[in-house]
Amino acid sequence: MPLEFIHLDKGSQFLGPEDRGFLINLTKARWSDNACSEAIKLLRNFTQLYYTLKCPESKAGEKASGNTDLDELEGDESYQAPSKEDKSGIQFAIREMVYPNVGFVACNLADPSDFAHFVLSKLADRKDYKKPRLPFRILPVQRICEAKAKSVEHCVKPILESTLAKDEFPYRFSLIFRGHSGGEYLSNNEAKSVVRNCVWALNPNCVQCIKYQDYAVIMDVFDPLFVVGVAKDFQKLASYNTWIIRHGVKTDLGTDSEDDISDDPTLSEEEERKRKLRIKRKRRAEKAGLAQREGEVKRSVEELEKCGERDGEGEEDEPGLNGKKTDDFGALNGEEDEDVDSDNE
């Protein structure tokens, strides 16, 4: 289908509810003007190819409908104009962020998630594409709203309706909360709970998984804003990490065994936590080559929680985009995210 565009506000310096685009995490370094240029350059390398794919019947030099007037944008310092060869009409602009290792690139695409998937797929599949010099994690942001439960519910439903709820297929999904929040704004668990309930309300056949999911719902809070996007083939494409893709993604993902750790809505919160911790203990023992004894006495909930804390399962150890913790960009694809959704395990 032809490309759809939205208005790109050239006068906005900071992130706002009308923006859509890409949350770009720069690992092992601070965000800078060089990082901005590198991120824009990477995205722009694929705009014409993406346009040709989406609009194969368009005439040469004809831009898609709904494009913002380029003449109005050229005077804005934050606006990054496309090259002369680029006939796509896709535009980018930088939004300033207060966190040291994350940037936001706004765009006029109505669906930045599809473009992000296209870019990462090309980087993974084609060796002749020049890989970016800096290690980026490119996360699509399709909606931005106030970090309140009701606002999030209203914001996320249109995205889910076009992905997880487009039919009754039992899609596999994961919930990834990258940031940190507190005070009057949504917490990690609250945000996931709202989005999870929306998924199952729209398509009760969906299954929450951690690895090899069809879609990953990515969330973050930049007080007072909540950002969300749905990423396709998230683990398959190395958690959308260009550094890992640069060194080659895995072709054999192995057998997925995460279904049993998905949330069970029939259990209480205490029973669910106990069940997940028991599964984790069993898996760790199997990895270590230790056999589980048949009649092993079950531990109390308190002991299981202590066991989880010693193994680093707490949410405070979750890697974040907000400059508080960074990823190990040398990890294999998907492995650095294994414990991101630790509360879902």
Q: Are residues 195 and 267 in the same domain?
A: no
Q: Which of 23, 231, 226 is nearest to 144 (CA)?
A: 226
Q: Are residues 178 and 109 in the same domain?
A: yes
Q: Are residues 242 and 267 in the same domain?
A: no
Is the CA virtual torsion 210, 212, 213, 215 positive or negative?
positive
Q: Are residues 59 and 125 in the same domain?
A: yes
Q: Are residues 241 and 270 in the same domain?
A: no
- Position 275: which residue type? R
pLDDT band at 297 (very low <50, low <70, confident <90, very high): very low
Q: Which of 76, 136, 142 is nearest to 103 (CA)?
A: 136
Q: Are residues 82 and 193 in the same domain?
A: yes
Place of tokens 């609009």: 55
Residue 320, number of CB atoms within 10 A of its CB: 21
Q: Which of 78, 15, 11, 90 is nearest to 50 (CA)?
A: 90
Residue 252, number of CB atoms within 10 A of its CB: 5
Q: What does the pLDDT average to over 248-253?
A: 65
Digit-coded pLDDT (tens) for 22-38: 999 887 778 888 888 88
Q: Using CA atoms, how far apart are residues 213 and 138, in angstroms rounded to an integer?
A: 18
Q: What does the pLDDT average to over 237-265?
A: 69
Q: Are residues 320 and 181 in the same domain?
A: no
Digit-coded pLDDT (tens) for 319-328: 344 444 344 4
Residue 342 placed within a domain: no
Q: Using CA atoms, how far apart are residues 290 and 286, in angstroms rounded to an integer?
A: 6
**What does the pLDDT read at residue 265?**
63
Is there a cis peptide before residue 319, judged by omega within 30 degrees of 0?
Answer: no
Q: Using CA atoms, how far apart are residues 27 and 118, in angstroms rounded to an integer?
A: 22
Q: Are residues 132 and 279 in the same domain?
A: no
Q: Are residues 94 and 219 in the same domain?
A: yes
Q: Are residues 171 and 41 in the same domain?
A: yes
Q: Using CA atoms, how far apart are residues 21 and 62, in angstroms rounded to an integer?
A: 23
pLDDT band at 254 (very low <50, low <70, confident <90, very high): low
Of the listed ranges 175-184, 208-217, 327-336, the least confidently predicted one is 327-336
Q: How many domains does the chain have?
A: 2
| Residue 102: domain span | 21-246
Among 195, 219, 246, which residue terminates a domain? Answer: 246
**What does the pLDDT read at residue 294?**
41
Residue 14 placed within a domain: no
Residue 9 placed within a domain: no
Residue 72, number of CB atoms within 10 A of its CB: 12
- Position 265: which residue type? P
Q: Are residues 29 and 101 in the same domain?
A: yes
**What does the pLDDT read at residue 325?**
39
Share of the chain above pLDDT 70, in %: 66
| The two structure tokens encoding residue 236 | 């398959």
**What does the pLDDT read at residue 230?**
97
> What is the end-to-end Cα distance of the chain in Å, rounded?
38
The angle formed by the CA atoms of residues 21, 331 and 127, to the nearest 5 degrees, is 65
Digit-coded pLDDT (tens) for 114-162: 999 999 998 887 666 666 778 889 999 999 999 999 999 999 999 999 9
Q: Are residues 74 and 159 in the same domain?
A: yes
Residue 339 placed within a domain: no
Q: Using CA atoms, how far apart are residues 249 and 123, in angstroms rounded to an integer?
A: 10
Residue 251 placed within a domain: no
- CATH for 143: 3.30.2300.10
Residue 8 placed within a domain: no
The pTM (predicted TM-score) of the whole model is 0.70
Backbone angles phi, psi at 197, to 5 degrees: -65, -35
Residue 203 placed within a domain: yes
Tell me if residue 219 falls in helix, strand or coil.
strand
Could you tell me the CA-to-CA distances from 133 to 37, 42, 247, 318 in Å, in that order?
Answer: 11, 10, 12, 26
Residue 159 placed within a domain: yes
